[in-house]
Amino acid sequence: MPVVYRDEVTLVSLKGIRTQVTPRAFKEMTSVTLEHDGVRCKVGFVSVVGHDKVSRRFFKCPGCGTPATVLGAFDGKWRGRCCVPWRHRAVCNGMRLLLP
């Protein structure tokens, strides 16, 4: 798989979804429909209980089902970082460096 950079992927975070609705509405949501450039996908939520016994909500990656806090639209599909490992570009004094 070629290297995928973050600026090539349209990203949606769980935090961004949470700020658009009330806390009560967010708790009651079971899924959300994401759409970008004709790429539409219904994404479910999954609750994971942490070591401190607190339940946290995550997106369920449409590709593999892994909990994810960020999903990206890439190559006609919505995927989590577990399926499409995008990364940041190295920046030095405002110039982009392409690293191997």
**pLDDT tens by residue, 36-70:** 888 889 999 999 998 888 889 999 999 999 999 99
Across the range 1-23, mean pLDDT stands at 85
Instruction: List the one residue out of 82, 78, 83, 85 whose CA is nearest residue 42.
Output: 78
Q: What is the mean pLDDT of the chain?
A: 84
Q: What is the pLDDT of residue 83?
A: 87
* pTM, entire model: 0.78
Supply 33's token pair: 């429909």
- Residue ranges per structural domain of the chain: 4-97
Q: Which residues lie below 8 Å from residue 63, measured CB to CB, with a gap of 6+?
A: 77, 79, 80, 82, 83
Q: What is the pLDDT of residue 68?
A: 93
Q: What is the pLDDT of residue 92?
A: 54
Q: Using CA atoms, how far apart are residues 92 and 48, in angstroms rounded to an integer?
A: 38
